[in-house]
């Protein structure tokens, strides 16, 4: 079984970004700036946003984490976003999810200017995925696609299953896979008889957010298993698929590990998106100037 690690793919993306920024440096163009809003002190979310900030530093982007308490009202949160939308120094805005239940995540995300929506979670940017001409792509699904490409796993004509239909992963991933000519099936919590169908798929992307909900032996012999889950349990970080190196080793062809698989890619793709939106804004500015 081949282990599809995220680190080499992430490093390649980081190298590409650094190469592009070297050109920006020569032309004295201001490097990208990412603003991240963190509501509350959820330990997992705090770790994620710190990793995003660390990666920004590593690449030379400027960044800020705006930390607000869970008592913040939706209107106050939206006002912070409106100020960031107006701030010409800010290229990307990310609201770390989940938000407290008292706040409508959809309404908050819709406040973000689509041209600064580095997560690709506004309706406008999600809609652009359907037309095949997105400004940016959602970080985790595009990280999955980047990994498949890096490891030369072609999806064209393949039977690909997505298990999970979240707006952050499953739903956009359908479209990114379709664009690459995969034959896509989606399973979710209401799907019947999933077990009996799993062996039909060459590639399975699991994003259900439940530790060890599946095991390798349930998939087709020689399947590629992409585990998008990052679950915190007493065993540490675990995927949605049991990392079964005894039984699974001879059964499937390749799998992403957790940790060290798709999770690593999400941050790399966020950086790529921040650079892409910064570039768009710089180009628009240059066009106005000329």
Query: Of 94 and 242, which has the nearer Cβ to ligand GUN?
Result: 94
Catalytic site residue 244?
no
Q: Is there a catalytic annotation at residue 119?
A: yes
Specify the residue, 140 or 274, whose C-beta has the smaller distance to ligand GUN.
140
Residues forming contacts to ligand GUN in the complex (CB under 6 A) are 94-97, 119, 139-140, 168, 266
Give residue number: closest CB to ligand GUN.
97
Shortest distance (Å) from residue 198 CB to ligand GUN: 25
Nearer to ligand GUN, 140 or 256 (CB): 140
> Which one from 91, 116, 117, 119 is the annotated catalytic residue?
119
CB closer to ligand GUN out of 21 and 228:
228
- Least separation in angstroms between residue 49's CB and ligand GUN is 9
Catalytic residue among 52, 116, 158, 220: 52
Q: How near is the Cβ of 121 to ligand GUN at its closest, in Å?
A: 7
The answer to whether the bond into 119 is cis (omega within 30° of 0) is no
Q: How far apart are CA 118 and CA 281, in angstroms?
A: 13
Q: How far apart are CA 188 and CA 191, in angstroms?
A: 5
The question of whether 52 is a catalytic residue gets the answer: yes
Question: Residue 229: CB partners within 8 Å, gap ≥ 6?
Answer: 206, 207, 208, 209, 210, 211, 213, 238, 239, 240, 241, 258
Q: Among residues 96, 218, 220, 240, which one is catalytic?
A: 96
Secondary structure (H, E, C), 204-268: EEECCCCCCCEEHHHCCCCCEEEECCCEEECCEEECCEECCCCHHHHHCCEECCCCCCHHHHHHH
**Catalytic positions, please?**
52, 96, 119
């Amino acid at each position: 079984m081949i282990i599809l690690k995220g680190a080499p793919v992430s490093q390649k993306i980081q190298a590409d970004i650094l190469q592009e920024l070297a050109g920006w440096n020569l032309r004295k163009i201001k490097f990208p700036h990412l603003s991240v809003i963190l509501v509350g002190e959820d330990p997992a979310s705090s770790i994620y946003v710190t990793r995003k900030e660390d990666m920004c530093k590593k690449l030379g982007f400027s960044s800020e984490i705006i930390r607000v308490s869970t008592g913040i009202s939706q209107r106050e949160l939206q006002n912070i976003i409106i100020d960031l939308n107006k701030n010409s120094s800010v290229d990307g805005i990310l609201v770390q999810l989940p938000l407290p239940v008292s706040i409508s995540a959809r309404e908050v995300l819709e406040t973000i200017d689509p041209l600064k929506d580095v997560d690709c979670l506004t309706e406008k940017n999600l809609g652009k995925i359907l037309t095949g001409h997105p400004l940016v792509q959602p970080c985790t699904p595009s990280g999955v696609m980047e990994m498949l490409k890096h490891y030369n796993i072609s999806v064209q004509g393949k039977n690909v299953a997505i298990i999970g239909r979240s707006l952050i992963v499953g739903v956009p991933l359908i479209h990114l896979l379709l664009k690459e000519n995969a034959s896509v099936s989606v399973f979710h919590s209401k799907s019947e008889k999933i077990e009996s169908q799993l062996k039909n798929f060459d590639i399975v992307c699991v994003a259900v957010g439940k530790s060890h909900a599946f095991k390798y032996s349930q998939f087709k012999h020689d399947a590629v298993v992409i585990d998008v889950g990052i679950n915190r349990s007493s065993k540490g970080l675990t995927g949605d698929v049991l990392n079964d190196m005894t039984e699974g080793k001879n059964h499937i062809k390749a799998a992403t590990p957790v940790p060290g698989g798709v999770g690593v890619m999400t941050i790399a793709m966020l950086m790529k998106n921040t650079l892409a939106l910064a570039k768009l804004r710089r180009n628009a500015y240059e066009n106005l100037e000329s």
